[in-house]
Amino acid sequence: MKRNSKGAKKRQRTIQVWTLTQAKSAVPYLTSILRSFREYTLEGLAARQRMRRIDARPGRPDREALITVQETDAEARRAEANASHAADELAALDVQSLDAVHGQALVPFVHEEQLAWYVFDLFDPQPLRFWRFQTDPDETRRPLTPRQHGRVETVETA
């Protein structure tokens, strides 16, 4: 008896891995995208917070409060759509956001025949200073050494 023969297979996706040289040359572009992503994310979070505060006011909302909630909701949706567009730009480069608010992203590369990530930090004077393996916890930071220069190839992920 076969179990879940149609949906049980894991999808594999090929991602482009980067060399350290490629990642360093893309720093200005990645900085721009990540900065926009962070700003739009913060705008959306702030607008949603304003909406919660208005909704938490005691009593029935007046006309002005209802208009403010509508405008704030539109502002939040616009910011979230822009953040989604920035996230899509990162995804097109096979770069993953680690933490939008803290300006951190992961750039894929291969190290010791394993998928690894350069940790891109928007607020670090040296944005590509650390790396980690795919299997490491998110907070792991290993300093870059000459061994992490990587090579150009593609890696299958599950």
58-67 pLDDT, tens digit each: 989 899 999 9
How many domains would you assign to the chain? 1
Tell me if 44 is assigned to some domain: yes
Structure tokens at 145: 């050494």
CB 85 within 8 A of CB 96: no
SS (H, E, C) 51-71: HHHHHCCCCCCCHHHHHHHHH
DSSP 93: T
Where in the sequence is the domain holding 129, given as residue range(s)? Answer: 13-157
- Amino acid letter, residue 12: Q
The tens digit of pLDDT for each residue in 70-129 reads: 999 999 999 999 999 999 999 999 999 999 999 999 999 999 899 999 999 999 999 999
Tell me if 3 is assigned to some domain: no
Instruction: Report the predicted TM-score, pTM, of the whole model to 2 decimal places.
Output: 0.81
Tell me if 108 is assigned to some domain: yes
Tell me if 8 is assigned to some domain: no
Exposure string of 54-66, with b = 16+ CB inside 10 Å and e = fewer, is: eeeeeeeeeeeee
Q: What 3-state class would DSSP assign to 121? A: strand
Tell me if 7 is assigned to some domain: no
